[in-house]
A and B are shown apart, each in its own frame.
Chain A
Amino acid sequence: MTGRVVAGLAARRAIRGGAAWGAVFALVVASTAVGFESAYGTVEARQQLVRTLGGNAGIQALFGVTRDISTVKGFTAWRCLGVLPLVGAIWALLHATRTLQGEEDSGRLELLLAGPTTRAGAGVAAMAGMAAGLVAMFAVTAAGVLAVTGTGGFGVTAGLYFAVALVAAPAMFLAVGSLTSQLATTRRQAAAMAGGVFGVAYAIRLVADSGSGLRWLRWASPLGWVESLRPLTGSRPLALVPIAGLTLGLSAAAIVVNGARDYGTGALPASDTGPLRAGLLESAWRFSARLTRPRAVGWAAAIGLMAAVVGLVAKSVGEAATESEGFAEIIQRLGGRSGGAEAYLGLSFTIVAALLAFQAAGHVAATREEEADGQLDNLLVRPLSRSRWLLGRVATAFAALAAVSVLAGLASWVTAASQDTGVGLGRLLSAGMNVLPPAVLVLALGTLAHAVAPRRAVALTYGLVAWSFLVELVGSLVNASHWLLDLSLFHHIAPVPAVDPRWDTAALYVVLAAAAGAISLVAFNRRDLVGA
């Protein structure tokens, strides 16, 4: 009975999220298929595309290996499979940890557990709810895919298989998130652990697809399995075996661990006592730093690792790429200067820009959560002004973002230099700093949303980043009108170090951010504190 309530609640939220992302998937698939027709209608255009992208090891490393991209279905499969599983996996791990750990953290689950159900039962029920969300995601995605069978030139079976491939990564990472939720003590820890798994999986896939001799590494990464499914381009359903195995295995493990641990604690040991560490408790500002630190460290590790991998493979990718004549064109189009390595690094840093923007959104969410959970009350009933508190949170978040951006440049330089790639420290540091302005703008706009519409702030902020990311993806493809592209935060960022940074844009971003920040301080002062 109560189990059904838990399942029902979890299912409702999962179906809402799954269906929403399914709709995004459907939209991207459909617009890619339709857009391909208009953008690459002629044979010459398609040959050109194959030459440009087919030989571009950098793009292949980031988005996966191209196959049959002169056809609608080949291009659609490559383009969608390169990105949507990543987005879906991140949603899935956040969703799973929020459902399984977040409810427990906040004590809401306790209310339900008091009914006639066991915690293990509630855990299974919640996971069943998430499975329903996954089915919803599949259904909506499949609807989008099947809507363009005609344009895409593939059958219903192939279309369904494609939809399965698109939701494979979300399925696996729902399971990953379910297990880490049982291992960790808090939601944040659980999300960080699952995020770590995702980061490693992506890094391995990236190295495997970077054109070096490490192609076999693909089989070591769940994201590599998804790629190996090869939907629409010579399906290889064999890769479904490890995907299903991992999903079911981790889910089963999550259920077992859940049954064996105590409510409110993780299976991994976590100490419930500790010494007084006063250093970061001396003032509200220092305390901001303490609250920001775990998230900042997690992102620093993820982005630092990604930058290091990119730096490591930049030379070999660049050399492989320069041999294709299409690549020279890309470099020229980017307004570029010399070698393939720089162009590859430039493209890779646009991904870093997106990740850093997600980090910024995470800081906004944490700030809002401190208010929503009521912890902020403890500070603001004391002689601490609201502006001072908010400024402290924003300033520490800014410092974290700046540090991570510098770290990204530094990490890529260290590994690139170890390979004699020949891209200087200065250029890579400026590549790192170049991705800071959009993240700072996300931070400022998110803070503005927090000050004006607190209950919607988190969704708005993540939405802004996701929107920008999708516009970049879809927009660059369908030759979308310029105003659409202009609405993306990333579109105005130059691919440094392939080209020089655009300082005027950076300055504009910073000015906008400062204005949004100033308005936030005033607006936050004028409203009620609002709980969850």
Chain B
Amino acid sequence: MCSLTEPAIRTAGLAKRFGGFDALHPLDLEVGREEVVGYLGPNGAGKTVTVRLLLGLLRPTAGRAEIFGIDAHRNTVEAHRRLAYVPGEASLWPSLTGAETLHLLGRVQGQVDEAYQRELVERFALDPSKKVRAYSKGNRQKLCLIAALSSRADLLLLDEPTSGLDPLMEQEFRRAIVEAKDAGQSVFLSSHILSEVEALCDRVAILRAGRLVEVGTLAELRHLSALTVQATLRDPPPDVTGMAGVTDVEVDGRRLRCHITGPVGPLLDALAPAGVLQLTSREPSLEELFLAHYGGGE
């Protein structure tokens, strides 16, 4: 019996190897209850592999995965009762209509909030009488989203769920995720849309080449990274290259720009004698964080 405190997702040494290629190095990851976790990484990092391992569609080479304490591979059906999944590229049965698809998926899922489903169909502006083969990509994606959201499953596993959605629908998706979070559902969101992750996620995990390189709240991640400092000075700027934590110094006349990690006191002390007219500092956006992690070598 799983206790009430088991996390929504827990992996221990979960790894996957295809032939001689390690798509996922042993992964230890936890997603708590009522938590929204973003899963980021460049193309081919292993995000989809992770999600498919959690779903039991792939068999792990090593390690294990649990969904609310239920082993995802030994007890797949039980684990699936607790979750709903949205793939990035849905492949549905072309001859079924949207309504038929929702009906079928609802029956196989075993739990549907019919009223909420009708509401979502309205909100996502989907015409369910059309056959899937006549839907645009975005509309197929909406169908998968509606099917998953209307199950009200405890855990939502989303793998690039908004690929192909227009900005209006993207907004609608965010509202739905906020609703899910308020209703106590957990969300694991793999995405390339950083603003989406920034807006929705409590924590972020960054994967690169099959290895987890960073996990934490956005605030924590920002803390670890460089602050961008820009100063306009009265006198020519002093030479600050070589100071502890200072990198990427750019001087343009009386203007100085640099990145700094760690305490900023020494930098300010060095600048003060030149007469600081204006000073701005900015935390890195998720995009900058991300580019730093994506761009770096092994």
Contact = CB atoms under 8 A, between A and B. Distances in A.
B109 interface: yes
Contacts of A281: 96, 100, 103-104, 107
Interface residues of A, number: 35
B91 A276 contact: no
**Interface-centre pick from A283, A374, A528 (highest chain B CB count, 10 A):** A528
Contacts of B95: 186
A276 B100 contact: yes
A219 interface: no
A384 B107 contact: no
A105 B95 CA distance: 12
B129 A274 contact: yes
Interface in A252-306: 264, 271-278, 281-284, 287, 291
A157 interface: no
Given A282-B107, A377-B87, A382-B105, A273 B80 contact: no
Contacts of B144: 378
Interface in A346-388: 373-375, 377-386
Given A282-B107, A373-B91, A383-B80, A277 B55 contact: no
Given A276-B103, A287-B104, A381 B59 contact: no
Contacts of B96: 281
B59 A284 contact: no
A375 B93 contact: yes
Contacts of A283: 107-108
A384 B92 CA distance: 17
Contacts of B90: 378
Contacts of B263: none
A382 B80 contact: yes
B92 A378 contact: yes
Contacts of A375: 91-93
B77 A276 contact: no
A380 B57 contact: yes
Interface string A72-108: 0000000000000000000000000000000001000
Interface string A388-429: 000000000000000000000000000000000000000000
A526 B57 CA distance: 10
Given A273-B129, A274-B129, A381 B57 contact: yes
Contacts of A379: 108
Contacts of B85: 381
Interface stretch (B34-42, B130-138, B169-177, B264-272): B130-138
A507 interface: no
Contacts of A383: 77-78, 80-81, 108-110
B76 interface: yes
B291 interface: no
Contact of B91 (A374, A380, A526): A374
Contact of B58 (A105, A271, A284, A529): A529
Nearest to A277: B100
B94 interface: yes
A461 interface: no
Nearest to B137: A107
A276 B100 CA distance: 6
A273 B105 contact: no
**Interface-centre pick from A375, A381, A383, A528 (highest chain B CB count, 10 A):** A381
Nearest to A281: B104
A331 B76 CA distance: 58
A277 B99 CA distance: 9
A394 B84 CA distance: 27
A477 to B, nearest CB: 44
B97 interface: yes
Interface in B106-122: 107-110
Given A272-B131, A528-B57, A384 B77 contact: yes
B148 to A, nearest CB: 9
Interface string B59-81: 10000000000000000111011
A386 B93 CA distance: 18
A275 B52 CA distance: 34
Contacts of B89: 374
Contact of A385 (B77, B87, B104, B105): B77
Contacts of B80: 381-384
A528 B99 contact: no
A374 B55 CA distance: 14
B131 A274 contact: yes
Contact of B130 (A186, A273, A384, A528): A273
Interface of B: 52, 55-59, 76-78, 80-81, 83-85, 87, 89-97, 99-100, 103-105, 107-110, 129-131, 133-134, 144
List 10 A-B pairs, minimum CB-CB distance, nearest first: A374-B91, A272-B134, A281-B104, A381-B85, A383-B80, A382-B108, A529-B57, A528-B58, A276-B99, A273-B129
28 contacts: A105-B94, A185-B133, A264-B133, A272-B134, A273-B130, A273-B131, A274-B97, A274-B131, A275-B97, A283-B108, A284-B108, A373-B91, A374-B89, A377-B87, A378-B92, A378-B105, A379-B108, A381-B83, A381-B85, A382-B108, A383-B80, A383-B109, A385-B76, A385-B77, A386-B76, A528-B58, A528-B59, A529-B52
Given A377-B87, A383-B77, A529-B57, 9 more contacts: A271-B131, A272-B134, A273-B130, A273-B134, A275-B129, A281-B104, A283-B108, A373-B91, A379-B108
